[in-house]
Amino acid sequence: MSEHNELGKSGEISAADYLQKKGYAILEQNWRSGSWEIDIIAKEKDILVIVEVKTRSSNYFGEPYMAVTKQKQRLLIKAAEAYVIRKNLPYEVRFDIISINYFKGEPTINHIENAFYPTLR
């Protein structure tokens, strides 16, 4: 596995641990539907939380969350819609970003709740 992939995997593990410590129930990790992927699907009370995890080893190119573009948001929204329909879930959906920066090996976690909202087409 490449260094980039290992860093991303490590970030996703740290994000899931972080969410569990905050009382979230992790329902899925790396859930796929065709070409769509959701890093973490969790539940907080009666809210389904779709989490995009972005991990970097430095902030040279900006904070990790800045890599969640409008296009990526649209893909996450479509993937979340597919998940909710497939599982027939009655929950409100929230989109979060967990931005992780590994500086000198220690992760700094920035959890952005309600990072973006689905828009009407």
User: pTM of the full predicted structure?
Assistant: 0.90
pLDDT at residue 2, rounded to an integer:
53
Buried b (16+ CB within 10 A) or exposed e, 75-87: bbbebbebbbeee
pLDDT digits (tens, 9 = 90+) for 35-78: 899 999 999 999 999 999 998 876 666 778 888 999 999 999 99
79 pLDDT exceeds 90? yes
Residue 121 belongs to a domain:
no
Identify whether 15 is part of a domain.
Answer: yes
Owning domain of residue 86: 3-116
Three-class secondary structure of residue 110 per DSSP: strand
To which residue do tokens 């899925």 refer?
28
Total domains in the fold of the chain: 1
CATH number for position 52: 3.40.1350.10
Task: Give a yes or no: residue 54 inside a domain.
Answer: yes
Helix (H) or strand (E) holding 31: strand 25-33
60 located within any domain? yes
Among 26, 24, 51, 27, CA closest to 37: 51
Whose tokens are 């959906």? That residue is 93
